[in-house]
Amino acid sequence: MSKAEKTKQHIIEKTATLFNTKGYISTSLSDITQATGLTKGSIYGNFENKDEVAIEVYKYNAALLSTTLSRSFGDEYPTSLDKLHAFVNFYRKNWPYVFSNGGCPLMNAATEADDSFPALKNQVKNSFELWMKKVSSVIQQGQKDREINEKINAGEYASMFIMLIEGGILLSKTMGDQSFLNNALDRITQMIDHELTILPS
């Protein structure tokens, strides 16, 4: 890694929590220089503008979440149902970390960017699409392996899981109470155990 690449990575890593906590739009150049210990000239020597920093930081935060979540779908969990339960348990176990780092980077960026920051909105859209595709593929594999009801719509359940999780995180973060997320996760667990695995009569 070149010196310039190292500096760029330093900026991204040092501001990752800052952007996710304060906001991708609200974080100022002064905030970035304070967090990194670098001058404005050094920041602009590596990024065209603050928006480019924000985009790269979002990609970094989203990639960290994706990498961690992917462990739930690894070979450590042999069946599709095991993988889905591990996916739910990830959020139950890691809530303190998610909370202390500002919440879910996808949700934070999505609610903030909307139409005011289209480049960031597109990045978030791609992240959610990949997330839904990943969960959906686990369900589809379970259907192929005859673990999961072949009549259910994998895409619909994948999107429902994500909606419940994101809503649970939003309420828990706002209210300072993990029970809202836990309720959402309990509902997903019920769906996995009773709707995905039991054939309709």
Q: What is the pLDDT along the chain (201 residues), one digit of tens a residue?
A: 788 899 999 999 999 999 998 989 889 999 999 999 999 999 999 999 999 999 999 999 999 888 888 888 888 999 999 999 999 999 898 887 777 777 788 888 888 877 788 899 999 999 999 999 999 999 999 999 999 999 999 999 999 999 999 999 989 988 989 999 999 999 999 999 999 986 555
Predicted TM-score of the model (pTM): 0.87
Place of tokens 């919440």: 103
Q: Is residue 177 part of a domain?
A: yes
pLDDT of residue 160: 98
Q: Is residue 112 part of a domain?
A: yes
Q: Is residue 30 part of a domain?
A: no
- Report in angstroms the alpha-carbon separations of 89 from 71, 93, 146, 175, 192: 12, 6, 23, 21, 13
Q: Is residue 137 part of a domain?
A: yes
Q: Is residue 94 part of a domain?
A: yes
- With 0-12 / 13-18 / 19 or more C-beta atoms within 10 angstroms meaning exposed / middle / buried, residue 160 is middle
Q: Is residue 49 part of a domain?
A: no
Query: Which domain does 149 fall in, by range?
Result: 59-196
**Count: domains in the chain:** 1
What CATH number corresponds to the domain at position 166?
A: 1.10.357.10
